Chain A
Amino acid sequence: MRNRRKASDRRHFAVRHAIRSELANDVDASPNGRRTATKRDPAVPVVQLDHVTLSFDRPILEDVSFFAKAGETISIVGESGTGKSTALKLILRLLIPERGRVLIDGDDITHLSFEEALSVRQKMGMVFQGAALFDSMTVFENVAYPLREHTKLDDDEIENRVREKLQFVDLEPDRVMEQFPAELSGGMRKRVGIARGMANNPEIMLYDEPTSGLDPLTTATITRLIMKLQHELGVTSVVVSHDIRAVFRMSSRVAVLHDRRIAFFGTPEEMAASENAYLHDFLGGA
């Protein structure tokens, strides 16, 4: 019964994915290459965790629910080891929940095969804590990587796209394109990571501690870039962060993880006004 349901879920996903791909074909030809042609019901969250429970050797997440609507930036905050990065891995379907569902554009991705999950991930861009740039490749090759893998753009188009993305993150293409990640500063690596994440014009951007280990000025630059992506390109973002000031600046909503559960999910204003003792302590300590 369970297997039959999984198979029907996969067929359902495959049909919807094919229709979306058809729609998205018009899109890449649009002037800015954004995938905006996909008709989306604004009431349906773009990213949603629905009563998700996950454990490895010990419980990690219990009955966790939150969502992000189109164009919103939501932040996940909490103490270290509360499962914030795990939540991102669930959205990317690098992990599968024991109970509950993870929905992308209203589609349940929980039971997808590995290959189907790879195609869902193409809708997303991810910025890792340490940038995770491929150290055997130059900056150009890093940013061009998703374009070479998943598009039929020719070399000139790829170079133009790479230059455009590097300029978007305030890097001078001619200066950095031929450099290797080891030759860049921490802030530059993060910015190249963002450029690579957005190279394929994803609908969703995920950030894992985008400002950790950076000085206050670079932190402000990265925060501004995340906001720029939201405002100028309408990208839906999920940010895992410890930086409460940055979270308050850029988030439409904040999810606070505490003791494996969601302790709070609401706007930054609601969070600041909350009487919840844990939130009070958390913000006081931040």
Chain B
Amino acid sequence: MPAFLTRLNNAAKAKVLRVQEYFVLAGKSLRFIFARPFYGQDVIQQMDEIGVRSLGIVMITGLFTGMVLALQSSVQLKTFGATMYIGNLVSASMIRELGPVLAGLMVAGRVGSGIAAQLGSMRVTEQIDALNTLGTDPIKKLVTPRVLAALIMLPVLTVINDFIGIIGGNIIGSFVVGLPSTQYWRTVWDQIASDGFTFRYFPNDFVQGLSKPLVFGAIISITACYFGLNTTGGTEGVGQATTKTVVTASILILISDYFITQLLLSVLTYA
């Protein structure tokens, strides 16, 4: 085989191996959620780190996204004399798409990079090896609590993000467009109800809005842990791991968002 084909073959094998390792890590970390020992204290600590401490940036993102959505849509809707539909537009955009995606991207930037840097530092200072030698599985101790915390906290952050975004729309509706708050909130509910329900009572918009952050939470935490645990090359390697985490997690969030939407639109029955 020519040398360049051998190199190509080896490079392709290395890439496939990395993808395989990523999914093995994902599988193990999810399986260990149900396996002893349970590190409950670590899960709570990570829920604080991933959820509570991300609240500020997620709320700011939600508020200004909702406000700018209302502002932009008011300009377009004014042309048709339909500014009373701002609530429909803001709520549909926030709950279905912008809430989950923006919360995911914010958490990927803040928490993903933090997890990668922390685990990367632990790798280069031999703390991961120390865990192994002390008879602890690093995936159980370090990865599973982070994945579980992200799976719990991402949907919570998304709901808050959605709500604050809709309030942002209300602020613009009331103070800039002159739309009464009661009418704004009625159109918000009309929008949610008009898209149909799953199991009779659960709005389809909420199914979309809450299933996405679950997947995004898994993507962010597993990607960060994967790059963190595989850090090589000292402090420079830690920097590279954080960059790779934010870039990869953000891209995976945007790609998976499309496929989840496609899947849910074909599964859920919209009115």
**Chain A positions near chain B (C-beta within 8 angstroms):** 89, 92, 94, 114-115, 118-119, 121-122, 124-126, 128-130, 132-135, 145-146, 149-150, 196, 206
Is the beta-carbon distance between B136 and A135 smaller than 8 angstroms? no
Is the beta-carbon distance between A129 and B135 smaller than 8 angstroms? no
**Provided the pairs A130-B125, A132-B127, A134-B127 are in contact, do residues A150 and B133 lie with their beta carbons within 8 angstroms?**
no
Since A125-B133, A134-B130 are in contact, a sample of 4 more A-B pairs with Cβ atoms closer than 8 Å, ordered by chain A residue number, is A118-B137, A128-B130, A130-B126, A135-B127
Chain A residues with Cβ below 8 Å from B125 are 130, 132, 135
Of residues 121 to 168 in B, which have CB atoms within 8 Å of A's CB atoms?
Answer: 121-122, 125-127, 129-130, 132-137
Chain B residues with Cβ below 8 Å from A130 are 125-126
Is the beta-carbon distance between B135 and A128 smaller than 8 angstroms? no
Is the beta-carbon distance between B132 and A121 smaller than 8 angstroms? yes
Per the bound structure, the CA–CA distance linking A46 and B134 in Å amounts to 19
Is the beta-carbon distance between B127 and A92 smaller than 8 angstroms? no
Residue in chain A with minimal CB distance to B118: A136
Chain B residues with Cβ below 8 Å from A115 are 137
Identify A92's interface contact among B37, B133, B136, CB under 8 A: B133
* Chain B: interface residue total (CB-CB under 8 A): 14
Is the beta-carbon distance between A124 and B133 smaller than 8 angstroms? yes
Chain B residues with Cβ below 8 Å from A196 are 134
Chain B residues with Cβ below 8 Å from A135 are 121, 125, 127
Identify A128's interface contact among B37, B122, B126, CB under 8 A: B126
Is the beta-carbon distance between B137 and A114 smaller than 8 angstroms? yes
**Chain B positions near chain A (C-beta within 8 angstroms):** 37, 121-122, 125-127, 129-130, 132-137
Chain A residues with Cβ below 8 Å from B127 are 132-135
Is the beta-carbon distance between B132 and A149 smaller than 8 angstroms? no
Can you report 11 A-B residue pairs in the complex whose CB atoms are below 8 A from each other?
A94-B129, A121-B132, A121-B135, A126-B133, A132-B130, A133-B127, A133-B130, A134-B130, A135-B127, A146-B135, A149-B135
Per the bound structure, the CA–CA distance linking A134 and B132 in Å amounts to 13
Quote the shortest CB–CB distance from A96 to chain B (angstroms).
Answer: 13
**Provided the pairs A94-B129, A132-B127, A134-B127 are in contact, do residues A146 and B137 lie with their beta carbons within 8 angstroms?**
no
Chain A residues with Cβ below 8 Å from B136 are 118, 149
Residue in chain B with minimal CB distance to A206: B133
Per the bound structure, the CA–CA distance linking A97 and B133 in Å amounts to 18
Chain B residues with Cβ below 8 Å from A149 are 37, 134-136
Quote the shortest CB–CB distance from B144 to chain A (angstroms).
Answer: 15
Per the bound structure, the CA–CA distance linking A11 and B212 in Å amounts to 45
3 interchain residue pairs of minimum CB distance: A132-B126, A132-B130, A126-B133
Is the beta-carbon distance between B135 and A119 smaller than 8 angstroms? yes
Quote the shortest CB–CB distance from B139 to chain A (angstroms).
Answer: 10
Chain A residues with Cβ below 8 Å from B126 are 128-130, 132
Residue in chain B with minimal CB distance to A118: B135
Chain B residues with Cβ below 8 Å from A206 are 133
Chain A residues with Cβ below 8 Å from B121 are 135
Per the bound structure, the CA–CA distance linking A89 and B137 in Å amounts to 16
Per the bound structure, the CA–CA distance linking A135 and B133 in Å amounts to 17
Per the bound structure, the CA–CA distance linking A121 and B136 in Å amounts to 9
